[in-house]
Chain A
Amino acid sequence: MAIVEISNLSKSYTSGAFHRSSIKALTNVSFSVNQGEIFGLLGPNGAGKTTLIKILLSIAFPSAGKATVLSHPLGSLEIRKSIGYLPENHRYPSFLTALDTMRHFGRISGLSSTTLKERMTSLLQLVGLADWHKVKIRKFSKGMLQRLGLAVAMLNDPAILFLDEPTDGVDPIGRKEIRDILKSLRYQGKTIFLNSHMLSEVEEVSDRVAILNKGHLLHVGTIADITSHELEYEIRLLRPPASEVLSQLRSLCKSLQQDNAVLHITVNERRDFQNVLDILRRDGVEIESFSPRKSRLEDYFLRVITTGTE
């Protein structure tokens, strides 16, 4: 079930009082986000990622197109009651303690004192700030502020979480902890809309991603679709094979590349891969390992952004 539906969304910013110029931040963007998935939004700086999130949360308004969040049209207060949002470079009032911050922003969100009491302690524990709850947040590091922001975003037990660069400034251990939190939230059926520059992180936690560049949507798909290559394999041998063996393999493969004792092959059908293995065994070539070839999300991302096509 789609929890966020975006249809032909466009956004232009105008500037200048006399010579008005228009900058297109988003152009006809359409996709949907399903319930219970972690959806990664990728793109270089200025791609329109933050603008898209801001439009979904009515922090900015679209120039054209429409969208729904939790079946409510944009601008509905019902959306803001049911979402959690961690903005990029957020600035909570520095004179508040972690507990005060949660209490105030929880109350502004309309939460009752009882609900707040229950949620505050457990969330501070979850993000690892339980021992810091009485400390003024001006003493917090960037990573601690991100954790606090995440806790505040989860206060109202939202159905969908919008996270804009959640691991920005967080150390590797903290990043791992945040990833684990996101995974456990997905396990609870929450939907997470994740905007991040950390491609390895997005690859690890996301189910699907969208790639934006200069306001245009270049790709939407699952991580598996992007990273796996059907009928492409990598075979690691103990020693480089003899040239006769290689020529036999070439006759079976669509393509074959040799990198010393590593073979990268593409076959026409799955059975051909078994035949390749049979030839290697029959000729006494010792196989160390073999696996379907996988590319990194980063490789795909760079290719898409550079060429503008999938």
Chain B
Amino acid sequence: MNAFWLSYLTVREALFKGTLLFFFAIANVIIVFFIFAIDSTDGGISIFGNPITPRGIPDFNFVDFLFLNLFSSSTFWVLLFGLFATAGLIPAMLEKGTVELYVSKPISRPLLLISRSVGACAGIAFNLVYFSLAIWLIIGVKTGIWHQGFLLASLAVIPLFFFYYSVVALIALLSNSTGFSIMFALIFWFFSSALHLREMVLYPWWDNVVFHRLLDSLYYGTPQVSAMLDSATRLIGPDIMRRPTMLAQEGFDPLPFLYSLLSSSLLYAIACWWFSRKDY
């Protein structure tokens, strides 16, 4: 129970920092836009009364297109805002005068760290669920199209963020710096995208087996942020924009989530081990 209250306190702390509230406000603006803008027409959707019609693209499905782009852009902002809103929570816990209050309580340090991370992710999860559910309901009610793929894809971002947060937690713990944690996490995100496309992007740099295996190890040994995002996107529908990462496979692939679960567990375990041995 004490872990639950610690997570709850972390959510309140994240709310107090304001970034989550700003995120919530932006979500509401988009929701209001959808309430007024989207409507149904004969066999399709209209935006502010203008029907959206396919323009020469075979099998064009505007609903899939809308949800795909909404998902892609919203997850980008969710991860970015989420990072800014939560990266400081672990360094804040480690500040002199604060860390003593927590580590002197009858709660183990690993549980303290995990509860803090869960609390950090819970605030993001709440915003995400609220936003996705609202958009899904609005479009569902207005057009009669209940797109479950969008809802599932949005829910998949919750574990994705938690896995991604293992990198933030470890770096925040080691560096004790919010700025450095954010910077490293952003670089990691970019790097994760490059690793996801390593065969196309990184292998040609150096045609060496050891280098290729090293890239493979990094890909499987760290949370696969980009691969998880692509896999979640496939829950919505076929990619009309034909992005290179989505060409290879059709449908949801659970493996990036499984590998990320394992690699993030390892990162959390390292963070817990470090935290348990550190003097404050």
Interface positions of A (Cβ within 8 A of B): 13, 54, 57-61, 77, 80-81, 83, 85, 87-93, 95-96, 104-105, 107-110
Contacts and interface: CB of A to CB of B under 8 A. Distances in A.
- For the complex of A and B, list the 9 residue pairs with the smallest distance between their C-beta atoms, beginning with the closest: A107-B5, A91-B97, A60-B279, A87-B100, A95-B16, A80-B106, A81-B106, A89-B97, A85-B104
A57 B280 CA distance: 11
A61 B103 CA distance: 12
Nearest to A61: B279
Interface stretch (B6-14, B197-205, B216-224): B6-14
B234 to A, nearest CB: 41
A146 to B, nearest CB: 12
23 contacts: A54-B279, A59-B100, A59-B279, A60-B279, A61-B277, A77-B106, A80-B105, A81-B106, A85-B100, A87-B101, A87-B104, A89-B96, A89-B97, A90-B101, A93-B12, A95-B16, A104-B9, A105-B105, A107-B1, A108-B102, A109-B2, A109-B105, A110-B2
Contacts of B100: 54, 57, 59, 85, 87, 90
Interface of B: 1-2, 5-6, 8-9, 12-13, 16, 95-108, 277, 279-280
B227 to A, nearest CB: 35
Contacts of A93: 9, 12-13, 16
Nearest to A156: B106
A110 B2 CA distance: 5
Contacts of A85: 100, 104
A105 B2 CA distance: 9
Contacts of A81: 106
Contacts, number: 77
B119 to A, nearest CB: 12
A107 B104 CA distance: 14
Nearest to B3: A108
A153 to B, nearest CB: 9
Given A89-B97, A110-B2, A59 B13 contact: no
B5 A108 contact: yes
B172 to A, nearest CB: 18
B1 A59 contact: no
A110 B280 contact: no
B97 A108 contact: no
Given A104-B5, A108-B5, A109-B105, A87 B97 contact: yes
B116 to A, nearest CB: 11
Contact of A59 (B5, B12, B103): B103
Given A90-B100, A91-B98, 18 more contacts: A13-B279, A57-B104, A59-B100, A59-B103, A60-B280, A61-B279, A77-B108, A81-B106, A87-B100, A95-B16, A96-B12, A104-B9, A107-B1, A108-B9, A108-B105, A108-B107, A109-B106, A110-B2
Contacts of B101: 87, 90-92, 105
A59 B97 contact: no
B19 to A, nearest CB: 14
Given A61-B279, A107-B2, A95 B106 contact: no
Contacts of B9: 93, 104, 108
Nearest to A79: B106
Contacts of A58: 103-104
A110 to B, nearest CB: 5
A252 B8 CA distance: 75
B122 to A, nearest CB: 15
A55 to B, nearest CB: 9
Given A87-B101, A95-B13, A110-B106, A59 B280 contact: yes
Task: Find the residue from B5, B8, B104, B106 having the highest chain A CB count within 10 A.
Answer: B104
Contact of B12 (A92, A95, A107): A95
Contacts of A54: 100, 279-280
Contacts of A96: 12
A108 B108 CA distance: 11
A271 to B, nearest CB: 55
Task: Find the residue from B1, B5, B106 having the highest chain A CB count within 10 A.
Answer: B106
A104 B7 CA distance: 11
Contact of B2 (A59, A83, A88, A108): A108
Nearest to B99: A59
A128 B95 CA distance: 28
Nearest to A100: B12
Nearest to B108: A77
Nearest to A60: B279
Contacts of B280: 54, 59-60
Contacts of A92: 101
A106 to B, nearest CB: 9
Task: Find the residue from B95, B98, B277 having the highest chain A CB count within 10 A.
Answer: B98
Nearest to B115: A108
Nearest to A92: B101
A85 B100 CA distance: 9
Nearest to A76: B106
Contacts of A83: 104
Contacts of A89: 96-97
B105 A91 contact: no
A134 to B, nearest CB: 16
Nearest to B101: A90
Contacts of B6: 108
B274 to A, nearest CB: 13
